Amino acid sequence: MTGALDGIVVADFSRVLAGPYATMLMADLGAEVVKVERPGAGDDTRSWGPPYEKDAPDGVEPMATYFTSVNRNKTSLAVDLQTDDGRRAARTLVERSDVVIENFRAGTMERLGLGYDTLVADQPDLIYCAITGFGRDGGASMPGYDLLIQAMSGLMSVTGPEDAPSKVGVAVIDVLTGVHAVAGILAALRHRDRTGIGQRVDLDLLSVALSSMVNQTAGYLAADVVPVAMGNRHPSVVPYQVFSTADRPLAVAVGNDKLFARMADAIGNPGLATDDRFSTNTARITNRDALVADIAAALRPHGADHWFEILAAAGVPAGPINDVAEAFDLARRLGVDPAAQIPGTPTPTVRNPIGMSVTPPTYRLAPPTLPD
């Protein structure tokens, strides 16, 4: 089957997460991705375990699942970029590539003779995507680890309990940066289709974080509101949070007055919807504490699964807080297969979430072993 990006060659100089996630998405869609790695060590995430694969073939060293999560459908090229031979090998790869992607600290590729200006002089149709942590100016020397970005972007200040700033449980800014990188690269390829001219695509994790905080950062710019952590509550919608039940927590997301009326009826207290304190979202925000106390009291006698069934039947968005195993079970029950199998490999991979009717993602190659 021909993928949507069949014929596109990507020279992937990135490592860890943001860049590799972007190139894996492109590889799933048919691009040929050649991952450039340090001889003898490879991508840092090769050693980021446990956990390791539990079903590795006999005689094959199990890979760290962190590495496998973002490196399927690629081949690997071991190149020492500190040597002349290594740089020549890298240039040979670039010469047959449509896209270069890298996430070294700003200036590193230029020092290696592989910067955008050098490469584009010979290949004006090249798409060159550079990912940094804090940009190419004052933050050029700052390391772009996701935890630092979550801390310094303000994301941690609005996450977790009020007195305990928390990171998100996955490197979410790296992942979002990878998705933004794919969007930028595809837009640049579309421009090249029309004009024959390539371009540089720049992303920094700090900008992605600030953009991805959407309503929180917009509230600051447009209304001078500095948001704060509210636990599992929402600053602008009530009730939109987690409630305790007789056994485990239940998430409830009531986004408008109609849904609130349905919820009030479903939990056996229809008068809440006609109470002047709660009849509109603005009123519910003003009287948040009183409303939350009433809802909590109504939910307390029964378990989360009971309320999930009741509220779902009423069309109210609600659900228990699942662990990852329960989430996979839910997806399978709903007919949303969360896993895929790479031919010839025993270990499943998490399915690419993009559905395409003609050129769907494919799973062709297992994450590469590091060449000798």
Cα gap 193→197, rounded to integer Å = 8
In angstroms, the Cα distances linking 105 to 15, 133, 326 are 12, 8, 39
Cα gap 31→71, rounded to integer Å = 13
297 within 8 A of 284, measured Cβ to Cβ: no
Give the catalytic positions in this structure.
Answer: 174
Longest dimension (CA), the chain: 77
Q: Which residues are CB-neighbours of 214 under 8 A, at least 6 positions away? A: none
Residue with tokens 């449980």: 169
E strand map for the chain: 9-12, 32-37, 74-78, 99-102, 127-132, 199-204, 240-243, 250-253, 318-320, 339-340, 349-350
Sequential DSSP letters for 173-225: HHHHHHHHHHHHHHHHHHHHHHHS--EEEEEEHHHHHHHHTHHHHHHHHHH--
Bond from prior residue into 343 cis (ω within 30 degrees of 0): no
Selection from 365, 262, 362 nearest residue 313 by Cα: 262
- Tell me the torsion sign for CA atoms 360, 365, 366, 367: negative
Residue 99 backbone phi and psi in degrees, to 5? -135, 135
Cα gap 363→49, rounded to integer Å = 24
Question: Tokens at residue 58, please?
Answer: 């006999």
Residue 68 backbone phi and psi in degrees, to 5? -65, -25
Cα gap 100→119, rounded to integer Å = 10
